[in-house]
Amino acid sequence: MAKGKIEPRVRVPKRAKKGDIIEIKTLIKHPMESGERRRKDGSRIPRMIINKFEVTYNGVQVFLSDWHAAMSSNPFLTFHIVAQKSGMLNFKWTDDSGGVFTKSANIIIIE
- Interval 40-72: pLDDT, tens: 999 998 889 899 999 999 999 999 999 987 888
- pTM for this prediction: 0.88
Q: Where are the domains of the chain?
A: 9-37+45-110
Phi and psi for 14 in degrees, rounded to 5?
A: -70, -35
The pLDDT-based confidence of 1 (bands split at 50, 70, 90) is very low
Residue 32 pLDDT greater than 90, yes or no:
no
CA atoms within 13 A on the CB side of 20: 17
Question: Nearest-CA neighbor of 99 among 40, 10, 30?
Answer: 30
The verdict on domain 9-37+45-110 having CATH code 2.60.40.10 is yes
Give the residue from 36, 38, 30 showing the smallest Cα distance to 1: 30
Q: pLDDT at residue 89 above 60?
A: yes
